[in-house]
Structure 1
Amino acid sequence: MSAWPDLLGPAEAVAPRLLGAVISHGPVAVRITEVEAYAGSRDPGSHAARGPTPRAAVMFGPAGHLYCYVSYGMHTCANVVVGHDGEAAGVLLRAGEVVAGHDVARERRPGVAESQLARGPGLLCRALGISVDLRGTDLAEGPVRLELPATPVADVVSGPRVGLRLAAQRPWRFWIADDPTVSDYRRHPKASDGRP
């Protein structure tokens, strides 16, 4: 039996359930306000679309683990692995509100407004101090921890994912309506609207 029954299911169904969840690492905790779903072999935008490469192997399960990667050679991004063992799926943590460890988060993100401390996937990881070395971490046992919300967030909006070239129009980005910590939408200049 999974330690994370709420994370078992298709990525696009599980993703909205992570809104309002709190992820913590050391003294910093962030309430998640924006996520994106990635569905492995069903999704050409996923790192796991071509199978379990060394980088993406953790996406194949079990649910409730951390999948980290480096974007543009400089930003660490974090995903929560979801779905059933053997079926790759993840939910990218795109943005959130710092709810604990404000002083530490400000040291890591000096000179930015409170709402900007964890606004964007790379900045969220920077605020939390998450590096790619934490790939595979069990989110139930730390050092990075995830606490799901007791009740689902009510005002959820969905739309296309940010910056993808393939399967760009899938409405698998989810965010809390009118939350100031949600990042801006940016369409990839070579985005394909086709659905392979």
Structure 2
Amino acid sequence: MKLNRKFYNRDTVEVAKDLLGKILVHRVEGKITSGKIVEVEAYKGFKDKAAHTYNGRKTKRVEIMYGKPGFSYVFFIYGMHYCMNAVTREEGIGEAVLIRALEPIDGMEIMSQRRYGTSFELLKKRQIINLTNGPSKLCKALDIDKGCNGLDLCEDKLFIEQSNKQDFDIGISKRIGIDYAEEAKDFLWRFFIKDNEFVSKVK
């Protein structure tokens, strides 16, 4: 069952934590790839100097973040990588959750070809872990790019669905790679499934 609009239209930190263990799915030309969400980061708009919408910043790039909850916000970094977010809160707020890492579930052969250009059965353990253990890695493995920006996560192409009930402990830390964000770099808005080997960074 896909997560509905109501799920995303809540406090961004709570949505981030609740996304752990859910399944991100992408359908491309009849091929399905998916993975369990094991690491996320919350970005809280106006008051968050690490957010693309800090202080009400409005550009063409961030229009999606100000739209309805439950849409994808995909941005390009370093001139070579994509990162995917799920927009949260009501329209006009400008908040989102970055999907930082997945544990692969469906379509691992497809993911392997996209990431390494070789068969999944030839991968070493470290390569398997590296398939989706980072925001840009998971986007490449699931073929999430600029064409996915603004997709409705409540429809059937790119979406997040419920998973079987599972028990896990949630780790909490500072977010990664935002040392420029002054006091916001210390906000404890990164959440991950403890002891999951697909988390991008343990410390």
When normalised by structure 2's length, the TM-score is 0.85
Question: In the alignment, which residue of structure 2 is the partner of 1:63?
Answer: 69
Q: Pick from 35, 43, 46: which aligns with 1:41? A: 46
- Is 2:168–2:194's contact at 8 Å kept on the other side of the alignment? no
Q: Pick from 92, 98, 101: which aligns with 2:104? A: 98
2:113 is the alignment partner of 1:81: no
Query: Structure 1: which 5+ runs fail to align?
Result: 187-196
**In 1: Cα distance, 2:44 partner to 2:16 partner:** 11
**In 2: Cα distance, 1:89 partner to 1:79 partner:** 10
Question: In the alignment, which residue of structure 1 is the partner of 2:127?
Answer: 113
- Is 1:61–1:83's contact at 8 Å kept on the other side of the alignment? no
Residue 20 of structure 1 aligns to a residue whose secondary structure is coil
**In 1: Cα distance, 2:48 partner to 2:26 partner:** 30
**In 2: Cα distance, 1:108 partner to 1:93 partner:** 19
2:153 is the alignment partner of 1:147: no
CA root-mean-square deviation: 1.9
The alpha carbon displacement at 1:152 in A equals: 7.5
The alpha carbon displacement at 1:149 in A equals: 4.0
**In 1: Cα distance, 2:162 partner to 2:65 partner:** 19
2:147 is the alignment partner of 1:133: yes
**In 2: Cα distance, 1:156 partner to 1:75 partner:** 27
Residue 179 of structure 1 aligns to a residue whose secondary structure is coil
When normalised by structure 1's length, the TM-score is 0.88
- Is 2:9–2:70's contact at 8 Å kept on the other side of the alignment? no
Question: In the alignment, which residue of structure 2 is the partner of 1:4?
Answer: 5
Query: Structure 2: which 5+ runs fail to align?
Result: 117-122
Q: 1:96 to 1:68 in 2, by over 3 A?
A: same
Q: 1:152 to 1:44 in 2, by over 3 A?
A: farther
Residue 138 of structure 2 aligns to a residue whose secondary structure is helix
Question: In the alignment, which residue of structure 1 is the partner of 2:201?
Answer: 184
2:47 is the alignment partner of 1:30: no
**In 1: Cα distance, 2:177 partner to 2:94 partner:** 21
The alpha carbon displacement at 1:7 in A equals: 1.6
Question: Which is bigger in relative contact order (C-alpha 8 A, separation at least 6)?
Answer: 2
The alpha carbon displacement at 1:160 in A equals: 0.2
The alpha carbon displacement at 1:148 in A equals: 3.5
Residue 55 of structure 1 aligns to a residue whose secondary structure is helix
Read off the aligned partner of 2:177 and give its amino acid letter. Answer: G
The alpha carbon displacement at 1:144 in A equals: 0.9
Identity of aligned residues (%): 33
2:187 is the alignment partner of 1:170: yes
Question: In the alignment, which residue of structure 1 is the partner of 2:15?
Answer: 14
The alpha carbon displacement at 1:11 in A equals: 1.4
Q: How many residues align?
A: 185
